[in-house]
Amino acid sequence: MSKIVILGAGISGHVAAAHLRRKLSKEHEVLVVSPNSNYQWIPSNIWVGIGRMKSEEILFPLPPLYKKKNIGYKQALVTTFHPEGDTESASPFVNIKYVNGEQKGNTEKVTYDYLINATGPKLAFDMTEGLNPGTNKAYSVCTYSHAEHAWHALDDLIQQMKQGKKAKILIGTGHAKSTCQGAAFEYILNVEQELRRHNVRDQAEVIWIANEYQLGDFGMDGVLLSYGDNIMKSSEMVEMVFEDRGIKWILGAGVNKIEDGIAHYETLDGEYKSETYDFAMLIPAFSGHGFKAFGKNNEDITEKLFKGFMLVDADYTAKPYEEWSVQDWPETYQNPSYKNIFAPGIAFAPPHAISKPRVRKNGTSISPAPPRTGMPSGITAKLVADNIIDTINGKKDLHHKGSLGNMGAACIASAGYGMTKGSGVSITTYPIVPDYNKYPDTQGRKLGKTFGEIGLAGHWLKLALHYAFIYKAKMKPFWWLIPE
């Protein structure tokens, strides 16, 4: 019998648990450890943040589902990693601390045969002074509770605007190295449409602020894509959308301090500037959780497991941008020191950025971190689960591989909610990490597999995917037929 412990119940952790439980016999134990008792479909947070969905529409409780599906569950935080066991036992384990219920505050040693670290990122609001959701008129949509607070504040501002108030709305990234520009992009388009729906658009100045060098970078160095019968850069497409909506933009901005209604930032040109606002939604930096790891004799071996995020089968050799390659990216998400530990999704440490790094004159890096959310999180989680299943069944090599350098991704970015007036920006990218050797003339991507569309059909598809993935996450009949 094998015991597989999964840390985290987000997209990666939940997908891995579901596939492991479906494919392994009941003699094998699947255990999820997560501080969150609810599963949330994060891509729909932006609709909570504009009041078009309630939190209960994008989440459901995990304990009843896991009990029904014979998946173990502990509502707890992992505190330390012990991949070699300790002086009392050679069995590898993690220490956890319960965060709820009768055992709240208690710690426990949880042993494992295989460990999947799907803890995702720490939302590092503290890396930007004053950036704390719900304070200084700045908000977030990174969680459903954050999104609820954002909507309450935005709705209050809309009511004031109906009474004649002029307002400035600032949406984008809240740190020089933030990622997840896509979520902010969706939110600004949805907010802009809601302003029009409430007949207060002429009362508002809407501004995009980002650490991107160009619009449409999204941490992927931008893309060259097919758009109808034309070939278009993502920067041109986003600029077209923003100009059509009357949205202004500030680029190459490293936000470093938030005060009440003021965002301070530095630019790649070495200038220090500020922007006032009445409402802001700024994506924070993502960081590792600061986990520590210890060897058998309690010596610190953190460097074997973590480099901020968890080390996997990537090439972490420091080298200049010109020498970066798609071959640097991991394929199995297996830790090189401990072969029974894996880290899919956001939990793995990327070898480097995808976008070309850009550094301000004083040394501050103002450039997006690489995105690993959504579709790549689900795909890599299933890949890891399948490799563990094969290993349990006696296969020696890891046959399931998938690098972001040979993996495509589809993103449906909501551009406004509404069955007749909604809109969506549909973009597919192949590969996620550009391969300049294979596709030297098309910015490292394959045209035909990299394309964009804008329109009402995009909204319908985004909404359909919301219900499809909630269905899949609840492990309803034939859920596995829905792709990651």
Percent of the chain scoring above 90 in pLDDT: 91
Q: In this predicted structure, what is the pLDDT of residue 427?
A: 87
pLDDT surpassing 90 at residue 434: yes
Give the tens place of pLDDT for each residue, 452-474.
Answer: 899 999 999 999 999 999 999 99
Buried b (16+ CB within 10 A) or exposed e, 128-137: bebbebeebb
| Confidence check: pLDDT of 361 > 80 | no
Position 409 scores a pLDDT of: 87
Q: Model confidence over 38-51: pLDDT tens digits? A: 999 999 999 999 99
pLDDT at residue 412 greater than cutoff 90: no
Residue 359 — very low, low, confident or very high, per pLDDT cuts 50/70/90? confident
So where are the chain's domains?
Answer: 3-122+287-363+370-392
pLDDT of residue 203: 97
Query: What's the mean pLDDT when you consider all of the chain?
Result: 95
- Span 173-190, mean pLDDT? 95
Nearest to 121, CA basis, from 312, 286, 300: 286
Confidence tier at 364 by pLDDT (50, 70, 90) = confident
Q: For residue 299, what pLDDT is reported? A: 97
pLDDT at 362 over 80: no
Question: What's the average model confidence in pLDDT over 150-164?
Answer: 98
Share of the chain above pLDDT 70, in %: 100
pLDDT for 373 equals 82
Which architecture characterizes domain 3-122+287-363+370-392 according to CATH? 3-Layer(bba) Sandwich (3.50)
